[in-house]
Amino acid sequence: MCATKAFGMGIDVSDIQEVYHHAPTGCLSDYVQEIGRLARDPHIKGIAKIDFSEKDFRYIRKLHGLSAIKPYQLIQVLKKLMAIYRLNGEKRNMLISASDFAYIFPLATEDSVEPKFKKLVAPAEQ
């Protein structure tokens, strides 16, 4: 079986014996999640393989830089949250929508605004 990342993440087959990555994934947690698809049957042995070159890591660093949260975006989100807080009569519980913050992520698609917004506010919840 050959699968893309999106398809592979949804596979729940117990007898996968080998996972091969043509190139490194974006981060270690993704890689661990992806290789966790193999050898779910306790009676088989699984092997994870990966091919990569130095160019792959330069590409990953470039992509990471493009997707990283910028300080100005955090400031804009905080300003917007403060404005909503004040409009809401300074009540601590607010109902907000990630789409209200889309202007902060000008290169984001409609589907990617919510994950970017969550990435910014998740540390504040802790």
**pLDDT tens, residue by residue, 57-67:** 777 777 766 66
The per-residue pLDDT for 8 is 63
Beta strands in the chain (DSSP E): 18-21, 47-50
The per-residue pLDDT for 65 is 66
Please check whether residue 73 is in contact with residue 104, taking contact to mean a CB–CB distance below 8 angstroms.
yes
Instruction: Please tell me the distance from the alpha carbon of residue 107 to that of residue 74, in angstroms, as a whole number.
Output: 16
For CA atoms 99, 105, 109, 115, give the dihedral sign.
Answer: negative
The per-residue pLDDT for 87 is 93
**Cα Rg of the chain (Å, integer):** 20
**pLDDT tens, residue by residue, 91-121:** 888 888 888 888 888 877 777 888 888 887 7
